[in-house]
Amino acid sequence: MSRHRVVIIGGGFAGLSAVKALANAPVDVLLLNRENYYTSSPLLHQVATGELEPELIAYPIRSMLRHIKNVQFITANVKQVNVSSQCIQTHKYVIPYDFLIIAAGSDSKNVGIPGAIEYTFPLKKLEQAVNLRNQIIHCLEQAVLEVNPSLRQQLLTFTIVGGGATGVELAASLTEMIVALVKDYPTLDFSEVRVVLLQAGDSLVPQMSRRLRMYVRLRLEKMGVQVILRSRVRQVTSEAVYLQDSRVIPTKTTIWTGGVTGNPLARTWGLPLARDGRVIVLPTLQAPKHPQVYVVGDLASLPGMPMLAPVAIQQGEMAARNILRQIQHQELLPMHYQHMGNMIILGRYDAVLDLGKLKITGVTAWLIWLAVHLLILPGFRNRLLVLMNWLWGCLFGECLVRLVLPLPSVNKLPIRRKKMQVMGYIYPKSRSRFTTLRIHGHTDMDSQENY
Ligand SMILES: Cc1cc2nc3c(=O)[nH]c(=O)nc-3n(C[C@H](O)[C@H](O)[C@H](O)COP(=O)(O)OP(=O)(O)OC[C@H]3O[C@@H](n4cnc5c(N)ncnc54)[C@H](O)[C@@H]3O)c2cc1C
């Protein structure tokens, strides 16, 4: 009997967890990811504020899968999923599947606010974190030369929209970055620098208990962050943020961490969507009416499951287990999320940890945060270097990465079909009749309709 092929879209927390659960199982797995590396998103804010080099929080996916025999990986941007003909389309190829796990993650939800897409800095991907770091340092460099006080104020005001966990962590880290940079800019008056945190609701980090919410707010204010609650953004331009209550914040840097939506690509795939753009799934993580399609991680909408890394990891594993059960005609299992608690780092030596009845703050919580985030980082070298960077930062209070670097541009070289054929099962899009190419060069002719 031929082995079933499981295609996984997305090599983030959920996709890689599914891969691990399918390792050495009697199925062939093909993992597709837009980049050739995995990113540990919970550390993105530290890249944006120069605490860590970008390479330290990313890891080549091929190296992670090196020892798993039944898994292949391709760097590919999936454009379309056709659930009725059971195939997916990348920028160049059409790939059929027996089972599909969609783990394509989420995106920033800033649509509908004029100027938000054009003028805000998102923080979802590694290159966005580098871009933001460039912008922060660039603004300081420009401010040194700026004699006009109102233009200098724009350059030295950093506005974060969204007082959830990411916004709070970034605000704390950004404040520390600025303090660390004082000695590099002796001619700049750092009392002019403002970090503003805008939150639409009544409190920061609403998922935390009341006591911890208060703790977080007081800590940020003590660090010098200007927290503005009940502030809804009306418009963003390259020079200011306009609030609905007609307040205006002059700023050249508006960072968007408020609200998240399911990966917008999924909107065209014919799957049922919740209001936040995530795909509605059954408790078994299958898409309704498409038992071969599983949706996991940030993209899956299931009651009581927040967009968090532990949810994604557990769902990826559960989808993989259910696929193996489905192949063996066993009853599928519903997803039960085991909540691990919430934690937020508040700069150096402080964090909050909400484990239900147990709440921890201060240095103990900070040490736990560091340990957990070190453990989820793939690669021993990465862990060691991240630990060293943290120690260095604590000892010398320095912002380690202060270069304004050009972002890498991807060279669009044509992919030679012969090379792709070796990977197997790739269907050139341009042809009307397809050839199924099996691994190790063995060719099996199959005809399919053009996608
Ligand atoms: C700045 C930040 C801080 C966070 N901090 C925390 C935290 O402290 N704790 C916590 O629990 N959670 C945190 N989260 C949330 C956590 O990172 C997500 O819940 C988790 O990453 C979701 O996993 P996922 O696999 O669904 O998506 P992701 O990890 O985002 O992976 C999605 C993958 O799909 C790929 N992809 C997307 N579109 C395509 C396509 N068209 N074709 C091919 N590949 C595609 C992407 O390249 C990516 O690799 C944070 C998120 C961010 C952005």
Q: Is pLDDT above 50 for 71?
A: yes
Ligand 1: atom nearest CA of 105 is: 27
Question: Residue 1 has what pLDDT?
Answer: 64
Ligand 1: atom nearest CA of 124 is: 53
Q: Is pLDDT above 90 for 164?
A: yes
Measured in Å, residue 387 CA sits from the centre of ligand 1 at 23
Mutation pick for ligand 1 pocket among 19, 30, 32, 41 (CB with most ligand atoms within 8 Å) = 41
Question: Residue 409 has what pLDDT?
Answer: 52
Q: Is pLDDT above 80 for 447?
A: no
Task: Give the pLDDT band of residue 422 (cuts 50, 70, 90).
Answer: very low
Residues 224 and 125 in one domain: yes
317 among known catalytic residues: no
One-letter amino acid identity for 215? Y
Query: pLDDT digits over 425-444, tens only?
Result: 444 443 333 333 333 333 23
Q: Whose CA is nearest to atom 33 of ligand 1?
A: 10
Q: Whose CA is nearest to atom 29 of ligand 1?
A: 12
Question: Residue 340 has what pLDDT?
Answer: 85
In a domain, 57, yes or no: no
Residues 83 and 121 in one domain: no
Measured in Å, residue 115 CA sits from the centre of ligand 1 at 25
One-letter amino acid identity for 419? K
Residues 300 and 350 in one domain: no
Residues 245 and 383 in one domain: yes
**Angle made by CA atoms 269, 271, 273, in degrees to the nearest 5:** 115
Residues 285 and 194 in one domain: no
pTM value is 0.90
In a domain, 335, yes or no: no
Measured in Å, residue 308 CA sits from the centre of ligand 1 at 9
Least confident of 193-207, 220-234, 414-428: 414-428
CB atoms closer than 10 angstroms to residue 356: 9
Sign, CA dihedral 50-55-56-57, equals positive
When pLDDT is averaged across residues 336-345 and rounded to a whole number, the result is 93
Task: Tell me the average pLDDT of the chain.
Answer: 89
Question: Residue 403 has what pLDDT?
Answer: 84
Phi, psi of 433 (to 5 degrees): -115, 135
Q: How far is CA 169 from CA 41, 378, 379, 407, in A?
A: 12, 22, 24, 24
Query: pLDDT digits over 281-291, tens only?
Result: 999 999 999 99
Query: pLDDT digits over 146-159, tens only?
Result: 999 999 999 999 99
Question: Residue 401 has what pLDDT?
Answer: 83
- Ligand 1: residues within 6 Å at CB? 9-15, 32-35, 41-42, 44-45, 77-78, 103-105, 123-124, 165-166, 263, 265, 297-299, 307-310, 312
Residues 137 and 181 in one domain: yes
Task: Give the pLDDT band of residue 449 (cuts 50, 70, 90).
Answer: very low
What percent of the chain is predicted at pLDDT more than 70?
90
Residues 180 and 223 in one domain: yes
Which 3 state secondary structure label does DSSP give 376?
A: coil
Q: What is the DSSP string of 74-120?
A: EE--EEEEETTTTEEEESSEEEE-SEEEE---EEE--TTSTTHHHHE
Question: Residue 428 has what pLDDT?
Answer: 41
Mutation pick for ligand 1 pocket among 123, 260, 308, 375 (CB with most ligand atoms within 8 Å) = 308
Q: Where are the alpha helices (DSSP H) in 285-423?
A: 309-327, 363-375, 380-396, 417-423
Residues 352 and 203 in one domain: yes
Give residue 146's region: left, alpha or beta (phi > 0; psi -120 to 50): beta
Q: Is pLDDT above 50 for 419?
A: no
How many domains does the chain divide into? 2
Residues 253 and 361 in one domain: yes
Query: Which member of 35, 141, 169, 331 is catalytic?
Result: 169
Rounded Cα distance between 278 and 259, Å, is 13
Tell me the residue range of the domain where 189 lies. 116-258+342-396
Q: How far is CA 386 from CA 167, 175, 309, 375, 382, in A?
A: 22, 20, 19, 11, 6
Residues 229 and 125 in one domain: yes
